[in-house]
Amino acid sequence: MEVKVEGGDESANASYSRICQNVFREIGLHGNIDNVYLYCNPSEHVFVISVKIGRVPRPITVNDMTLRGDNRLKITDEKYAPRLLALLWDKFGDRVKQLSRLEITVDVGAKDMEELMKMVVYEPRADLNIRILDAVDRILPEGARVRYPLPSPGRVTIIASENPISEEWKKRVEEMVTLERGGL
């Protein structure tokens, strides 16, 4: 993960670079982020953070985390078990029974069972956005509570300030992020 911090004085930039590295490592996103660009303008109290999302693991389907035997499913990765049960109960209600910790029966036909096996249990990309926003929240100064997200593909960009964010700043940041996209 590459981190670039600009705008503040030398000590502030160095400190925030370290904060970015540590926060993403703590949250466990170090491997999923390509680069982070942080721009600080403390005199106008405007902070911009732009996170480029790197490679994300593919969605986990029922097939990936269970072994099928007729109407019976044996969970092979218990980490996703609560999500699987919630999903099945939501879709099939009382027809789903948990026999033991890792065994489930689903009272459906063979065709439905085929479809069930393709259902997505966990989408890392959806979770990733929440975790990235958590990291962004931890990095940006606490007083910068007015936020403006700038949508762009594969990138999470947020402008934060304690004052209302002006149109001028939104334009400036758009240009900044376009430049960064080319540079990094």
Partner 1 sequence: MYKIMMFSGGVYKFNELKELTQDIGGFILQEMVMQMETMLHLAFPAEEEKVIRNKVKEIGGKLIDLPLAGAEIMIVVPSLGRHHAVNPMCDIAEFLRRKGAITNMMGLSRGVGKRIAQITVEEKRIIEECDAAVFIFGNFRECIEDKARLCEGLEIPYIIVGGPPELDIPHYVGGIGRKTERMKRKHEIENLEKMAEGLRAELDIRRREIEEDPLAASPLFLKELIDMTIPPKPGEEFSTIIHLDGLRVKLEPGEEKIIRDIEIQNRKLSEICEIKKSLYEGYLLKILPEAETGRVF
Provide the binding-site residues for partner 1, judged by CB under 8 A.
Answer: 8-9, 11-12, 15-16, 18-19, 22-23, 26, 40, 42-43, 45, 138, 141-145, 162-163
CB of 161 to partner 1, least distance (A): 9
3 state DSSP class of 173 = helix
| Torsion angle (degrees, nearest 10) of CA 33, 46, 164, 35 | -10
Helix (H) or strand (E) holding 36: strand 33-41
CB of 26 to partner 1, least distance (A): 8
CB of 3 to partner 1, least distance (A): 13
Closer of 54 and 141 to partner 1 (Cβ) = 141
Strand arrangement, sheet containing 46-53: 2-6, 33-41, 46-53, 155-161, 146-152
Closer of 45 and 181 to partner 1 (Cβ) = 45
CB of 138 to partner 1, least distance (A): 7
Closer of 45 and 91 to partner 1 (Cβ) = 45
Closer of 125 and 145 to partner 1 (Cβ) = 145
> Measured on CA atoms in the order 69, 73, 74, 75, is the torsion positive or negative?
positive
- What count of other Cβ atoms lies within 10 Å of the Cβ of residue 26? 12
